[in-house]
Structure 1
Amino acid sequence: MVLYTIYPPEVVFETEEKRHYFTIDFEGRTFVMELIDGQAQIVRLISANPSDYLNPKWQPGTKVGFSVPR
């Protein structure tokens, strides 16, 4: 199915619940994370190094525990 519209995908495919993402830099990589049940879950990895995408440690869906600095 092809959907031709002038609206951006965020509007067309909007869900009822809003997700809150945040970006962090860790060990030279940039991650888009989502906070779920007190743990951060990796949503997206942004890196210039192709081998980072092959590392299962950084795959989307992986939950990571971290503490927020005060």
Structure 2
Amino acid sequence: MIEAVRAAAQAHARSWEALVPDPLTVDRSAEAAEEAAFAAMAVAKQRLHDHIRATYGVSVRDLANLALV
């Protein structure tokens, strides 16, 4: 699941770069692809959060705090 989140984040980064190739340009033709990539990333992240909650019985924030102790 972590790899799925990473892959989705990379896909979103590529789609964002296509949408905003430089600070002065926005390519509106890439907008739908960027929105779809963002939504796919959100789904992958939610699946990971749900898995952590179901497996460990804690939130992602709680798990991160435990890792820092």
- RCO greater where, 1 or 2, for CA within 8 Å and sep 6 or more? 2
TM-score scaled by length of structure 1: 0.22
Give the number of the structure whose residues are more often helix, by fraction. Answer: 2
Which structure is higher in strand share? Answer: 1
